[in-house]
Amino acid sequence: MSSFTRFDYHMMAHALKLAERGRFTTSPNPNVGCVITQGDNVVGEGFHYRAGQPHAEVHALRMAGALAQGATAYVTLEPCSHYGRTPPCAKGLIQAGVSKVICAMQDPNPQVSGRGIAMLREAGIDVAVGLLESEANALNLGFIKRMQTGMPFVQLKLAASLDGQTALANGHSQWITSPQARQDVQAYRAQAGAILSTSQTVVNDNASLAVRWSELPAHIQSDYSQHELRQPVRVILDRQHQLHSSLRLYQTEAPVLRVAQQQAEVCVALDPQGRLDLSQTLATLAQQENINHLWVEAGPTLAKTLLEEKLVDELIIYLAPKIMGSDGRGLFGALGLTEMGQVLELNINDCRMIGPDLRLTATLKQ
Amino acid sequence: MSSFTRFDYHMMAHALKLAERGRFTTSPNPNVGCVITQGDNVVGEGFHYRAGQPHAEVHALRMAGALAQGATAYVTLEPCSHYGRTPPCAKGLIQAGVSKVICAMQDPNPQVSGRGIAMLREAGIDVAVGLLESEANALNLGFIKRMQTGMPFVQLKLAASLDGQTALANGHSQWITSPQARQDVQAYRAQAGAILSTSQTVVNDNASLAVRWSELPAHIQSDYSQHELRQPVRVILDRQHQLHSSLRLYQTEAPVLRVAQQQAEVCVALDPQGRLDLSQTLATLAQQENINHLWVEAGPTLAKTLLEEKLVDELIIYLAPKIMGSDGRGLFGALGLTEMGQVLELNINDCRMIGPDLRLTATLKQ
């Protein structure tokens, strides 16, 4: 790895911060930020805002204008080398006459990784890679996973009382978590390319699974205005074709993708247990629907199955400081375990208060 | 409140730190620290180490010797004014010739509160009260509660998987929490005046409920040597006289107090539900056994009853990052709730990782 200066770190950190601004809108594209400097001055900056619109480098080069000549460009992802809906950014940087490009990370797509860098180097540009790489990775977990594995990054949302109950015995559950936690869920939904649930959950709760701008946390509203709102696709496991058009689900304009064996937008086989094949479902979402990041809100059965099949990348668990008693409905169904060695083990990676509730971020061990 | 200097704050903070050194040994006395200064120099310091041994002020005055003349004394609790096992500290400070005394808080015993201060003032000493008062309060929650209400400070320990299970359906539970969490429990036990449990728990687990010095966290071992070890009293609800002398409980030398209707060390009435009256039990422990601080380790029934009767001051909840399934044994029994409004609500006051586990400190709302 090259040695970077303190100034380089500051500039890349700024580019990462810019990239983050696109996190509600760039799907299925990655979040990318770019900063262009002349000496100690920033002369251009930009971020990718929405798929089909200019890439971060284009915005930054436009702002820099003639000052891009001999400048240094900081980009959070390797500049693209291919003609897509926009011309390749590597070419744009070459034409603008920048003399140095620092990338946080290579393109995660193994088929194009390194090509943008090679194109820049062939044009005589000094290229360094790897500055704040793990931060750049964290910005595009979904995009990177899809490019590298053909599967989406899957976040499973769970919410329960401190004693692990998701509802009273009679099904009452409004509200276990606080308004602040529910706002937090809206922010996660807004970042996802798709929300996965089941027809059972959708029908029982008449859930829209939509992002409601008015319920986003205020600090996000100030960054992301109501007219920019992008709704994630709703993906509903509907083996028994229970969805019908009068559901609130269909009152939001974003697509609904039904998953079933046949006569559905996503057709998948049944697994040996007679359930819709979840691995095939996720692969189809990533490879055919370009879903980077899947947010799962569902009942205990789907949660359990996803965990057992090791299809969950991250659990987002809200625990409300309430005690509901063990005669309520548990977070997972009965697991039938008889030895402590069979217990599912997690690692807790983050723990914080969201209003009065706890939010844990965890991953499955191994 | 008087105005205190930065130096005063530093000195009182130091006195509080000293006082804390006694937290495993002073029971039933309070933790107290004292610092004596001449100008900018500390000339004496000390803390109360064990009931029956000298108070903090005595140690600090001995160290200061003649330098106590005209000095300032910082004491975390109002100096005592009565002849007990040791002569009154207020008198000691007067005789040593200190010219100023700063106390963090008054004596919490309403019958003597203010007398030590009055004694000092009558002798012409300048007295100020209230410096770092809430920190001083936090040091002696049990002592203060007992003095003010005649009841002990009650901490209820709970431990479960993330989905609220304390054991598998067949009772297997070793180990849900990590060695680090179990060390943490040892530290809480070591600070308590007594541990409360039930004969059911003691007999089923053959639990000693003892403090094992070798299992204390290393940072505590270094402060608190093995020969200093004080065992808390074990208080066992034993309505049906199930305890017997071959239990491991009786292999630790600290007393065991059985609680029953009759023929027991603590005799209490039954409540209308036919259970041993818990409120009377706690009052007896505070008023007859001088128990400041009670640490409760028991099963779901006692936990539930203590909470329902609002006898718990603080819940210490360990959540292990494990999923055991809803067919295990829950943290509390069935509560039979039918409306969300009936749910027991807590406030989470602290949340931190203890090794891989979470530890929450919570209080019952209201």
Question: What was the pLDDT predicted at A2?
Answer: 60
Question: What was the pLDDT predicted at A323?
Answer: 95
Residue B353 to residues A78, A143, A350, A360, B359: CA-CA distances in angstroms?
37, 31, 9, 11, 6
Spatial neighbors of A266 by CB under 8 A, at least 6 apart, are A235, A257, A258, A259, A260, A281, A284, A285, A288, A289
**Which residue does chain A place closest to B336, by CA atoms?**
A327
Note whether A164 contacts B160, CB cutoff 8 Å. yes
Note whether B358 contacts A360, CB cutoff 8 Å. yes
Closest chain B C-alpha to A265 CA, distance in angstroms: 33
A178 is in an annotated binding site: no
Question: What was the pLDDT predicted at B87?
Answer: 82
pLDDT beyond 80 at B1: no
Contact between B232 and B254 under an 8 Å Cβ cutoff? The reply is: yes
Note whether A345 contacts B336, CB cutoff 8 Å. no
User: Sign of torsion, CA A330 A336 A339 A342?
Assistant: negative
Considering CB atoms only, which of A160, A332, A347 is closest to B325? Answer: A332
Q: Which candidate, B319, B159, B323, B161, places its Cα nearest to that of A300? A: B323
Q: Which of B156, B161, B162 to mutate to test the interface with A (most CBs of A within 10 A)?
A: B162
**Which residue does chain A place closest to B343, by CA atoms?**
A324
Q: What is the pLDDT of residues A3-23, one digit of tens each?
A: 899 999 999 999 999 999 999
- Helix, strand or coil for residue B23? coil
Question: What was the pLDDT predicted at A278?
Answer: 98
Closest chain B C-alpha to A301 CA, distance in angstroms: 11
Sort out which chain A residues have CB atoms less than 8 A from B336's CB and list them: 325, 327
pLDDT beyond 90 at A111: no
Question: Any bridge partners for residue B361, and if so which?
Answer: B316, B350
Note whether A332 contacts B163, CB cutoff 8 Å. yes
Closest chain B C-alpha to A106 CA, distance in angstroms: 33
pLDDT beyond 70 at A117: yes
Is the confidence metric ipTM above 0.85 for this complex?
Answer: yes
Spatial neighbors of A27 by CB under 8 A, at least 6 apart, are A51, A142, A192, A193, A230, A232, A292, A293
Residue A56 host element (H or E): helix A56-64
Mean pLDDT of chain B: 95
Sort out which chain A residues have CB atoms less than 8 A from B314's CB and list them: none
Note whether A162 contacts B317, CB cutoff 8 Å. yes
Sort out which chain B residues have CB atoms less than 8 A from A160's CB and list them: 163-164
Q: Find the catalytic residue in A57, A135, A308, A314.
A: A57
Closest chain B C-alpha to A177 CA, distance in angstroms: 11
Q: Could you list the active site residues of B? A: 57
Q: How far apart are CA A270 and CA B118, in angstroms?
A: 83
Contact between B25 and B228 under an 8 Å Cβ cutoff? The reply is: yes
Note whether A322 contacts B337, CB cutoff 8 Å. no
Active site residue A57: yes
Considering CB atoms only, which of B165, B176, B347 is closest to A164? Answer: B165
pLDDT beyond 80 at B84: no
Question: What was the pLDDT predicted at A264?
Answer: 96
In this prediction, what percent of chain A has a pLDDT beyond 90? 91
Q: What domains appear along chain A, each with residue ranges and CATH number? A: 6-139 (3.40.140.10), 142-364 (3.40.430.10)
Closest chain B C-alpha to A41 CA, distance in angstroms: 42
Sort out which chain A residues have CB atoms less than 8 A from B173's CB and list them: 340
B133 is in an annotated binding site: no
Q: How large is the average pLDDT for residues A217-243?
A: 94
Contact between B171 and B329 under an 8 Å Cβ cutoff? The reply is: yes
Q: How far apart are CA A141 and CA A149, in angstroms?
A: 12
Q: How large is the average pLDDT for residues B281-302?
A: 96
* B111: confidence class by pLDDT, cuts 50, 70, 90: confident
Note whether A331 contacts B324, CB cutoff 8 Å. no
Eight-class DSSP state of A203: H
Q: What is the pLDDT of residues A305-318, one digit of tens each?
A: 999 999 999 999 99
Note whether A336 contacts B327, CB cutoff 8 Å. yes
Torsion of CA A101, A106, A112, A118, to 10 degrees: 40
A173 is in an annotated binding site: yes
Q: How far apart are CA A131 and CA A345, in angstroms?
A: 34
**Which residue does chain A place closest to B167, by CA atoms?**
A340
Sort out which chain B residues have CB atoms less than 8 A from A356's CB and list them: 347-348
Q: What is the pLDDT of residues A331-363, one digit of tens each?
A: 988 899 999 999 999 999 999 999 999 999 999
Note whether A163 contacts B168, CB cutoff 8 Å. no
Question: What was the pLDDT predicted at B52?
Answer: 87
Considering CB atoms only, which of B161, B336, B346 is closest to A321? Answer: B346
In this prediction, what percent of chain B has a pLDDT beyond 90? 91
Q: What is the pLDDT of residues B36-83, one digit of tens each?
A: 999 999 999 999 999 889 999 999 999 999 999 999 999 999 999 988
B279 is in an annotated binding site: no
Q: How far apart are CA B247 and CA A278, in angstroms?
A: 52
Residue A255 tokens read as: 């697509």
B345 is in an annotated binding site: no
Question: What was the pLDDT predicted at B339?
Answer: 95
Q: What is the pLDDT of residues B115-170, one digit of tens each?
A: 999 999 999 999 999 999 999 999 999 999 999 999 999 999 999 999 999 999 99
Question: What was the pLDDT predicted at B314?
Answer: 98
* B86: confidence class by pLDDT, cuts 50, 70, 90: confident
pTM: 0.92
Q: How large is the average pLDDT for residues B87-96?
A: 94
Q: How large is the average pLDDT for residues B225-243?
A: 95
